[in-house]
Structure 1
């Protein structure tokens, strides 16, 4: 099961594996019988050496952004339950990914304290309002979309064309990948 952190969708984390030679294998394909399609998986536990899958020796944290942890941990296959591989302790790997996200977040542009506080309070209030008044919640969400439509295009154009901020810096400032930053800013640019 992948790891996610709110606000960092381009940084989905997972357990990755390493083969004895230190390489990272591609997905494992499973022939499910007749037909032209094959099921594939990159879940760490499929690299157990069965059904023509390679045998992984170590595990490490990986992120959708391309980051890989420097630290790896041995896989004790005799401790992995075949019907419940998710019960195997991968907490050290998850902690490495969380540290990566902490670093990504630390390098992103900090919000002014009053804006961060306002957004936190607004989110909490809207979540508490959902059960009491769903229509009021929807109206508030609509108002937020209006704000995005008013501010988004202007600030996207300034970031992309006015200040000539390089894309790697925009991505770092937003705490995302360059691909996601480009997609996001182009989406904001054409909101009107």
Structure 2
């Protein structure tokens, strides 16, 4: 569901026995680079000198960490032999966090929200049936978004609100808000 901003990245994070935030690990995915790094629960199995997580929780790229801890039973496997964890609890916690952030951010007018939903449906159908036309539409949208984004960023900056105020309105941290406005201002 479009909301006028991309959702914060989230995952089911690992929590070691001491309750600390573990450092990212680099799972062995074979030779070559770049190396993938993660803090997702499944990578903290105690193998290859990695720490072992006893519990998992919802987490968000904004820095939020869920208060609820969910035990990890490392003996559980799915039908393909992969480790299995019911991640619905941490994911539900994160969904509630996102809903809370959204409720404090500036709302989109319902007409714009509806238009974004309809546009998404149309572009999904176009991508499935006429992918080149979908790419042409995306290019047109990128030009439109760039122009309007620059205009909006300029208007916000001329009002000189604090980065905290801008972040709160967008559902972001102050640092993320500054980065967003800088990126939008420079988009061509």
- Range of TM-score over shorter length: 0.7 to 0.9
How far apart in 2 are the matches of 1:29 and 1:112? Answer: 43
| Deviation at residue 34 of structure 1 after TM alignment | 10
Question: What's the RMSD between the two structures over aligned residues?
Answer: 3.4
Aligned counterpart, 1:99: 96
Q: Which stretch shows the higher mean deviation, 60-69 or 37-46? A: 37-46
Distance in structure 2 (CA, Å) of the matches to 1:118 and 1:40: 37
Instruction: Please state if 1:74 is matched with 2:71.
Output: yes
Superposed CA offset, 1:37-63 (max 9, x none): 977543312323333332322211111
* Aligned partner of 2:108 among 99, 102, 111: 111
The answer to whether the 8 A contact 1:15-1:60 is kept is yes
Runs of 5+ in structure 2 lacking a partner? none
TM-score, normalised with respect to structure 1: 0.76
The answer on 1:26 being equivalent to 2:23 is yes
1:128–1:31 Cα change, 3 Å: closer
TM-score (normalizing by structure 2): 0.78
Instruction: Give the Å deviation of 1:165.
Output: 1.7
Counterparts of 1:129-144 in structure 2, within 5 Å, are 129-131=126-128, 133=130, 136-144=133-141
Q: Say which SS state the counterpart of residue 145 (structure 1) adopts.
A: helix
Equivalent in the alignment of 1:11:
8
Greater C-alpha radius of gyration: 1
2:14–2:39: 8 Å Cα contact kept in structure 1? no
Which region of structure 1 is more displaced relative to structure 2, 144-153 or 132-141? 132-141
Unaligned runs of 5+ in 1: none
| Residue of structure 1 equivalent to 2:170 | 174
Kindly report which structure 2 residues correspond to 1:134-173, keeping only aligned pairs within 5 A, or say none: 136-160=133-157, 162-173=158-169
2:138, 2:50 → 1: CA distance?
47
Measured against aligned partners, the alpha-carbon deviations of 1:24-47 in whole angstroms (never above 9, x if no partner) come to 221335689999x97754331232
Shift of 1:12: 1.1
